[in-house]
């Protein structure tokens, strides 16, 4: 069992059959030592790729992506959720359905901060149905940049996102993959990874 799986078992709370709360250490209160370890682990997994930029989506991806970008020594850009319906031509846009809020947001990245020829590592805290990741991938591709990979802290392997993104041909590295969880017993089963 790796450092993250141990922490999820210790402090994660299964809220329902498909929602895990990790807000005591990952996305509300933040354990900085754990973040540093996550940053080092993503560096280890992606240092064979020519990453020039880390990208994530606000809000909960940002804290994690900061540590990954620091380890890789590259800038971080995060996609912003935009309420404006009159989005101008200075941004790349994608529509993303929020898993937690069940609404749709347009997310935008300024064209000033993402360019053709860049090599992008996309980071997020969770993968569920893969909507956030598909939105970020489409933004990177509309810029003419290359997706070097997707780094996910917690993939819920019983939801479709991981399979969809891998089937699209992208490299997905998840630090923990949950194959099953039970809100009644609180039990969490991880997929064995090499």
**Chain residues in the site for ligand 5GP (CB under 6 A):** 19-21, 27, 60, 99-100, 124-132, 161
- Of 94 and 131, which CB lies nearer to ligand 5GP in the complex structure? 131
Measured from the Cβ of residue 159, the count of other Cβ atoms closer than 10 Å reads: 17
Query: Closest Cα partner for 66 from 25, 148, 173, 74?
Result: 74
Q: How far is the CB of 185 from ligand 5GP (least distance, A)?
A: 17
> Which helix (H) or strand (E) covers residue 157, if one does?
none
- Of 48 and 103, which CB lies nearer to ligand 5GP in the complex structure? 103
- Of 130 and 151, which CB lies nearer to ligand 5GP in the complex structure? 130
- Of 17 and 50, which CB lies nearer to ligand 5GP in the complex structure? 17
Q: How far is the CB of 99 from ligand 5GP (least distance, A)?
A: 3
Radius of gyration (Cα) for the chain, nearest Å?
16
Q: How far is the CB of 182 from ligand 5GP (least distance, A)?
A: 14
- Of 115 and 123, which CB lies nearer to ligand 5GP in the complex structure? 123
Q: How far is the CB of 121 from ligand 5GP (least distance, A)?
A: 16
Distances from the Cα of 12 to the Cα of 18, 82, 121, 183, angstroms = 13, 30, 26, 11
**N-term to C-term CA, the chain:** 11
- Enumerate residues 6+ apart whose C-beta is below 8 A from 41: 175
Q: Please answer whether residues 148 and 119 qualify as being in contact, where contact means their C-beta atoms are separated by less than 8 angstroms.
A: yes
Q: How far is the CB of 98 from ligand 5GP (least distance, A)?
A: 6
């Amino acid at each position: 069992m790796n450092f993250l799986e141990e922490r999820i078992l210790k402090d994660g709370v299964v809220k329902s059959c498909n929602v895990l709360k990790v807000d005591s250490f990952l996305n509300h209160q933040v354990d900085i030592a754990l973040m540093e370890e996550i940053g080092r682990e993503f560096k280890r997994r992606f240092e064979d790729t020519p990453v020039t930029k880390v990208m994530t989506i606000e809000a909960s991806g940002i804290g994690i992506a900061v540590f990954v970008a620091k380890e890789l020594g590259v800038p971080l850009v995060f996609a912003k959720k935009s309420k404006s319906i009159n989005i101008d031509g200075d941004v790349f846009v994608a529509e993303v359905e929020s898993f937690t809020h069940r609404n749709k947001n347009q997310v935008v990245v300024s064209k000033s901060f993402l360019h053709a020829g860049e090599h992008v590592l996309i980071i997020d805290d969770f993968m569920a149905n893969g909507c956030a990741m598909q939105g970020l991938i489409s933004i990177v591709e509309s810029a003419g940049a290359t997706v070097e990979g997707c780094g996910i802290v917690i993939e819920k392997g019983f939801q479709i996102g991981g399979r969809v993104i891998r089937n699209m041909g992208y490299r997905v590295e998840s630090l923990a993959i949950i194959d099953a969880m039970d809100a009644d017993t609180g039990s969490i089963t991880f997929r064995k990874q090499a």
